[in-house]
Amino acid sequence: MSYKRVLLKMSGEAMKGHTEYGIDPQTVMKLAKEIKEIKDLGTDVGIVVGGGNIWRGKTAEGLGMDRAQADYMGMLATIMNGLALQDALEKLGVPTRVMSSLNVSEVCEPYIRRRATRHMEKGRVVVFVGGTGSPYFSTDTAAALRAAEIDAEVILMAKNGVEGVYNKDPRKYQDAIMYNELTHKFVLEHGLEIMDSTAASLCKDNHIDLIVFNMNQEGNMKRAVLGEKLGTIVK
Ligand code: UDP
């Protein structure tokens, strides 16, 4: 049994591989191969990509920039990531559409919900870029929003190098314990950093399940879609 429709959230960091900054095409190709695997299971795949490998509004604000202006730049960064992912997926023969919350009609389609679901019904992967289209939000919130809109059964939160959700940072504390299952309420009450609180609230209020897993482990994406036990599930 596999999920019928999933929303995959990939942070921008996933695109940069071992480089300091930006996009590493070979890393993107590796990700695309994993995405193809889940597509080949017959699962409808929507993807929200972040932009943190290129630009983060909050960081720029800390350095003196106007927050809204910096956030719009962050949203533009997600469009570049989405285009790179589309390129890799289509090289593998996976028909892919990029839909943006900001209008950039020369390079991708505008986000129109009914058109997005139609693409999926026709077997295309849809990459949602431009975040929510509004500053002061994150691409995690965009993931929760699009998951609700396209009626995805689950959000696959692909993490870089961490296996799931822990009671404390596993990179700092050796005795950190991973949770197998959590509730959204617990995540919010304990301020667990899976996603920001706006995104977490949206998931809680709309009963969107999350699977938080390590995407650096090959095959994990497929395992998650097949419903194998891995990472942390948040319900
Ligand atoms: N952003 C925004 N509104 C959104 C989504 C993203 O303003 O709805 C901006 C924000 O500046 C953010 C940047 O885009 O820092 C990159 O997105 P995010 O940090 O969510 O990417 P990720 O951490 O997933 O790579």
Query: Which residue minimizes the CA distance to atom 13 of ligand 1?
Result: 74
Tokens standing for residue 112: 């129109």
The annotation status of 12 as a binding-site residue, yes or no, is yes
Q: Please give the ipTM for the structure prediction.
A: 0.97
* 110 assigned to a ligand binding site: no
Give the residues surrounding ligand 1 with Cβ less than 6 Å away.
11-13, 50-52, 56-58, 70-71, 74-75, 77-78, 131-132, 134-135, 137-142
pLDDT at 84: 98
Burial of 117 (0-12, 13-18, 19+ CB in 10 A): middle
pLDDT of 1 > 80? The answer is no
Residue nearest to atom 19 of ligand 1 (CA): 52
The pLDDT of residue 168 is 87
DSSP states along 72-112: HHHHHHHHHHHHHHHHHHHHTT--EEEEESS--TTTSEEP-
Residue identifier of the C-alpha nearest atom 15 of ligand 1 = 56
First-to-final CA distance of the chain: 19
Residue 139: pLDDT over 90: yes
Q: pLDDT digit string (tens) for 81-122?
A: 999 999 999 999 999 999 999 999 999 999 999 999 999 999
**Distance from the CA of 175 to the center of ligand 1, in angstroms?**
31
Q: What is the Rg, in whole angstroms, of the alpha carbon atoms belonging to the chain? A: 17
Would you say 2 is a known binding-site residue? Answer: no
39 is in an annotated binding site: no
Q: What is the pTM of this model?
A: 0.96
- For the chain, list the strands marked E by DSSP: 5-10, 44-49, 96-100, 109-110, 125-129, 154-159, 165-166, 178-179, 181-182, 209-214, 232-234
pLDDT band at 48 (very low <50, low <70, confident <90, very high): very high
Please write the tens of the pLDDT for every residue from 153-212: 999 999 888 899 999 888 889 999 999 999 999 999 998 988 999 999 999 999 999 999
For 6-38, write each residue's pLDDT tens digit. Answer: 999 999 999 998 899 999 999 999 999 999 999
Q: What is the pLDDT of residue 10?
A: 96
Set out the domains of the chain in order of their start, with CATH numbers: 5-234 (3.40.1160.10)
| Per-residue confidence (pLDDT) for residue 79, from 0 to 100 | 98
